[in-house]
């Protein structure tokens, strides 16, 4: 899978109105039983029906093994390194959220943690927006320490953007908060926003609540936030906890066990282990052999066909909030440079535009996704996907879905490039360097995408060298010499909140502190439109803000949307309450309800 936008409402939940609209839309859903070699056909299941898929009464006890596609290198889902979908699958049952995104894109209050709905006081001309949360009196960490306002305060302090030494995936929403205070022995939390900064996506706040009392043992906010990223959770406020010695030396096996101190409804299973299989082609074999009980791979034709043939397995393919894209590193001197202004130089803009123009996105789909999902379509918006309010095509007029090699060559020639189609030379007479394009190791579909992109660039006279990465987070943040990129393909995994979710992805940031703007894109107008989308009280105006930003990013050629990626889940049909959740939280959103039928 890809990177999770846990803040956004990572795409973040936008306001309730947007969530309600999204929940009424229909999407593609294909499912089948693996007891025969059925085709798995059956499209058009309403998104609103997804919450009840595989609902069952289950037994108490038992153990299952679930597959993730990356070895866990980081444990804090709120850092730029830890903001990775597979990592979060292991901690969803440990670090709780106030609101939990559901498969139908709605939001459900975590009533194990919270004592009733938060009380919201809207902003007036004299008073700021305020939110009062009530924590359950018996909510506690597994070491007996109560969950209190201190845990909420710690998350705000780490993510409010005032300390540049804190590595965070996003400051959106938290940077608009003036204060977080506790009362009633820490069981009441009052959040006051800045007077001029009401936040429409407030339900996206306080995800992956971390233990402030543990953090205090490991230095200041910056040091402790990093420590929580580098070390497996030592305490839990969720239904599961890391077993003693439960992390293998190579981090390919994570054992979690039922948290005996959990204050909510206990988990049904005694143990859920997470096994990393970094080569997705091996996942069906592991499922068929009984080495794992469920998989959540990026679907591709051979893998889908192999899963269909496995006896005793149910599978589902859905369209959801996952979308694949190609990004450029704008610190590369050919694309931009060390200063934000470098990326606005006309010749560099023309190079980026030409590269995106030449790529045949529809051809990519026809060779890959459409072979098993006939509903797949080219995506032409970065802010929302089809089925969400405000979706419109902001890309295909500039970057034709089937590509346009002649148009791309003309862009380069007009900008003063020489050697177009052979060996490209920029207007200053300098050879355009070879670019490194990275994809996640073991992901054949992304490897195919990279190879097709490299072939298209060769026709422009550009060399693209394709290689895999063993750590997507480290590569996106370019944390060392082995983890760098010029071009990269990955996916964002959204929540139902498009208004604030996109802000950390495209807002100007500082070198060394990218948040989620890993390629260091910068445009002042985009900054303003995305900021306005988080505070504008009118839904139509928010959609306009997002689409203006998206259209500008298209012109600036920073990231190229490819397609709304189908999700695939497959599991033994003896399991109950296991289902796809195509938002950023993934299938472990309800891990406590999993069990054996």
CATH entry, 95-224, from 1.20.1530.20, 3.40.50.410, 3.30.360.10, 3.90.76.10 = 3.90.76.10
Number of CB atoms found within 10 A of residue 265's CB: 11
CB 423 within 8 A of CB 461: yes
Instruction: Show the 3-state SS of 91-152.
Output: HCCCCCCCEEECCCCCEEECCCCECCCCEEECCCCCCCCEEEEEECCCCECCCCCECCHHHH
The Cα–Cα gap between 303 and 299 comes to 6
Among residues 272, 217, 310, 363, the alpha carbon closest in space to that of 588 is found at: 272
Q: What's the rounded Cα separation, in Å, for the pair 348 and 412?
A: 10
The CATH number assigned to the domain with range 325-564 reads 3.10.105.10
What pTM was computed for the model?
0.79
Q: How far apart are CA 511 and CA 404, in angstroms?
A: 34
The domain defined by 49-94+238-316+568-596 folds into D-Maltodextrin-Binding Protein; domain 2 (3.40.190)
- The count of C-alpha atoms lying within 13 angstroms of the C-alpha of 30, restricted to the half-sphere facing its C-beta, is 18
Average confidence (pLDDT) per 10 residues, the chain, 597 residues: 42 27 32 42 58 96 97 94 92 97 93 97 93 98 98 98 92 94 98 92 95 98 97 98 97 97 98 96 96 94 93 91 94 96 97 98 94 90 90 97 98 98 98 97 92 98 96 90 96 79 91 88 97 87 96 98 92 97 93 98
102 CB contacts (<8 Å, ≥6 apart)? 50, 51, 108, 581, 583, 589
Residue 231: helix, strand or coil by DSSP?
A: coil
SS3 content of the chain, % helix, strand, coil (to 5): 30, 20, 50
The pLDDT of residue 272 is: 98
3-class secondary-structure state, position 496 = coil
Sequence ranges of the domains in the chain: 49-94+238-316+568-596, 95-224, 325-564
Distance CA 117, CA 291 (A): 42
What pLDDT is stored for residue 2 in this prediction?
58
User: According to the model, what pLDDT value does residue 494 have?
Assistant: 67
Whole-number pLDDT of residue 322 = 83
Nearest-angstrom CA–CA distance, 541 and 564:
24
């Amino acid at each position: 899978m890809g990177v999770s936008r846990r803040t956004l409402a990572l795409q973040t939940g936008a306001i309730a109105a947007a969530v309600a609209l999204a929940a009424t839309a229909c999407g593609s859903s294909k499912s089948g039983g693996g007891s025969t070699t059925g085709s798995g056909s059956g499209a058009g299941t309403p998104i609103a029906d997804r919450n009840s898929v595989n609902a069952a009464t289950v037994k108490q006890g038992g153990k299952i093994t679930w597959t993730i596609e990356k070895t866990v290198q980081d444990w804090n889902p709120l850092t730029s390194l830890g903001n990775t979908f597979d990592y979060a699958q292991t901690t969803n049952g440990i670090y709780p959220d106030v609101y939990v995104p559901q498969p139908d894109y709605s939001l459900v209050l975590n009533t194990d943690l919270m004592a009733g709905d938060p009380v919201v006081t809207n902003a007036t001309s004299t008073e700021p927006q305020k939110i009062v949360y009530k924590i359950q009196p018996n909510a506690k960490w597994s070491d007996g320490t109560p969950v209190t306002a201190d845990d909420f305060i710690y998350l705000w302090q780490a993510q409010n953007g005032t300390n540049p030494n804190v590595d965070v995936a996003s400051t959106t929403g938290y940077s608009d908060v003036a204060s977080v205070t506790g009362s009633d022995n820490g069981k009441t939390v009052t959040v006051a926003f800045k007077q001029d900064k009401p936040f429409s996506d407030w339900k996206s706040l306080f995800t992956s609540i971390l233990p402030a009392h543990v953090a205090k043992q490991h230095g200041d906010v910056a040091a402790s936030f990093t420590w929580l990223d580098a070390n497996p959770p030592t305490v839990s406020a969720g239904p599961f906890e890391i077993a003693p010695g439960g992390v293998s030396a190579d981090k390919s096996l994570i054992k979690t066990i039922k948290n005996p101190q959990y204050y909510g409804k206990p988990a049904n299973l005694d143990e859920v282990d997470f096994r990393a299989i970094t080569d997705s082609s091996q996942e069906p074999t592991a499922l068929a052999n009984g080495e794992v009980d469920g998989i959540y791979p990026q679907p591709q034709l051979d893998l889908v066909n192999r899963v269909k043939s496995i006896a005793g397995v149910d599978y589902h393919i859905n369209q959801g909030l996952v979308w694949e894209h190609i990004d450029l590193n704008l610190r590369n001197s050919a694309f931009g440079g060390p200063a934000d202004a470098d990326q606005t130089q006309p010749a560099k803009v023309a190079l980026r535009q030409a590269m995106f123009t030449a790529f045949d996105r529809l051809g990519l789909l026809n060779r890959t996704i459409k072979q098993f999902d006939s509903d797949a379509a080219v995506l032409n918006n970065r802010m929302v996907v089809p089925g969400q309010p405000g979706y419109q095509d902001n890309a295909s007029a500039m970057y034709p879905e089937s590509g346009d090699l002649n148009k791309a060559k003309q862009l380069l020639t007009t900008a003063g490039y020489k050697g177009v189609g052979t060996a490209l030379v920029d207007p200053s007479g300098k050879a355009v360097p070879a670019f490194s394009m990275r994809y996640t190791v073991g992901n054949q579909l992304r490897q195919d995408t990279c190879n097709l992109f490299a072939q298209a660039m060769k026709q422009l006279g550009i060399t693209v060298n394709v290689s895999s990465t063993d750590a997507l987070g480290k590569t996106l943040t370019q944390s060392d010499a082995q983890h760098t990129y010029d071009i990269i393909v990955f996916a964002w995994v959204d929540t139902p909140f498009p208004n604030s979710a996109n802000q950390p992805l495209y807002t100007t940031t500082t070198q060394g502190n990218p948040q989620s703007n890993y390629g260091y894109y910068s445009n002042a107008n985009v900054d303003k439109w995305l900021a306005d989308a988080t505070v504008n009280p009118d839904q139509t105006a928010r959609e306009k803000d997002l689409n203006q930003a998206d259209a500008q990013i298209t012109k600036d050629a920073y990231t190229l949307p490819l397609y709304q990626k189908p999700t695939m889940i497959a599991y033994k049909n003896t399991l109950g309450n296991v289902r796809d959740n195509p938002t950023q939280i993934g299938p472990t959103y309800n891990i406590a309800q999993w069990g054996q039928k």
